[in-house]
Amino acid sequence: SPQTPHRHRRPPTHQPVNQPGWAVQLAKLATATVVVPAAGKLDRSATVSAQYAGSLFEQTVMLLGDALFHSLWLRSGQTADELWPRHSNLE
């Protein structure tokens, strides 16, 4: 029977994302930041949103990403046909 290769795990060289302060460190690298005040993935209290878990956050990030893309596209002056070769389709 085939054996599963043994993998050595290296100790993490960075601070885990769920630790306090990671967002502040990441924000210091950015020229602009956007704070999305939405319920966290594990918040099921329905105080921020009646939606399940992190759905409100995910939807907000999707809208912000789309708005950012549209703004950058308008600035570029390119047509949709010029952008098409670089289009990524996740369907």
**What residues are annotated to the active site?**
58
- Could you give the CA distance from residue 16 to residue 89 in angstroms, rounded to a whole number? 31
Q: Strands, DSSP E only, in the chain?
A: none
- Could you give the CA distance from residue 87 to residue 44 in angstroms, rounded to a whole number? 36
- Could you give the CA distance from residue 8 to residue 16 in angstroms, rounded to a whole number? 19
Cβ-contact 49, 43 below 8 angstroms: no
- Could you give the CA distance from residue 55 to residue 67 in angstroms, rounded to a whole number? 18
